[in-house]
Amino acid sequence: MYTCLDVNNSIESLRPSSTEFTFAQRSKWIDEIAKRVYLDVGKMKYSDHLLSTTVKLVDLSTISTQMRIDNVKHIYVTATKTTVSSNATSTTLWNEYDITQIKDVVNTNSIRFSRFFPDERIMRIEYLAIPALFPTTSTDSTSIPDMDDEAKDVLVYGALARICKAGDAPDVQLANQYEQDYREELRRTKVVIRRRERKLMNDPISYQEWNW
């Protein structure tokens, strides 16, 4: 496990001149890289929400502050009566809904079902995650990045590529080298995360999958 401060310290050790930029500015660039990584990896989260028999319009912002209609990928509703307290299991049957059909045109961050459900259901929403922001002060030595453990070097090299392009004397050649290192680490991280999420850690991985 690594901290947000560890990422900044690694950046300083590889490029001491990066200290010409404030800690807050470097953290901002790291945030940009973290968002790129989440998009590239397709990092998903899901949230369960109880649907009552009297509600068919659901405001997504009341479920999660990270959730917007444009980053929602899948919406499922249990096929039969299910309450949050009973918890959905691996054997629960779900119906998937077409997002374009239930997006509410008036309430732009809401979904509207065409009918009330006859009993309580669980709605499961899968959405692209947005990483939490890095702290902007070097005195914070405990915050943990909202990233997988394998992604530390991805953040470091990505931020270094951005740093080398900034300032009064940008080093484009070095920036390109760090960008190449970033892409290589990102490919490796994708494979590790994908295999872990699919629980295939002991299975061989194809050349095509390595380059997905």
End position of a domain, from candidates 128, 160, 177: 128
- Same domain flag for 37 and 51: no
- Same domain flag for 103 and 145: no
- Same domain flag for 115 and 180: no
How many structural domains comprise the chain?
Answer: 2
End position of a domain, from candidates 110, 128, 146: 128
In this structure, the strands spanning 110-112 and 57-59 are antiparallel
For the chain, the residue count is: 212
- Same domain flag for 51 and 67: yes
Q: Is residue 208 part of a domain?
A: no
Q: Is residue 34 part of a domain?
A: yes
Amino acid at 35: K
Between the CA of residue 100 and those of 56, 69, 90, 103, 140, what are the distances in Å? 16, 10, 27, 6, 43
Q: Is residue 38 part of a domain?
A: yes
pLDDT value at residue 199: 53
Between the CA of residue 52 and those of 78, 102, 135, what are the distances in Å? 12, 17, 39
- Same domain flag for 68 and 112: yes
Q: Is-contact 111 34, C-beta < 8 A?
A: no
Listed as ranges, residues in the chain with pLDDT below 50 are 200-212
pLDDT value at residue 210: 38
**Which residue is it, tokens 């922001």?**
133
Q: Is residue 84 part of a domain?
A: yes
Domain of residue 34, residue span: 4-42+131-201
> Tokens for 152?
């530390």
Q: Is residue 207 part of a domain?
A: no
Q: Is residue 33 part of a domain?
A: yes
- Same domain flag for 52 and 115: yes
- Distance from C-alpha of 119 to C-alpha of 110, rounded to nearest angstrom: 21
What does pTM read for this prediction?
A: 0.64
Q: Is-contact 71 130, C-beta < 8 A?
A: yes
Angle at 126 between CA 122 and CA 132, to 5 degrees: 120
pLDDT value at residue 211: 41
- Same domain flag for 61 and 33: no
- Same domain flag for 123 and 73: yes
End position of a domain, from candidates 105, 128, 151: 128
Reported as a single tens digit per residue, the pLDDT across 154-194 is 999 999 999 999 878 889 999 999 999 999 999 888 888 77
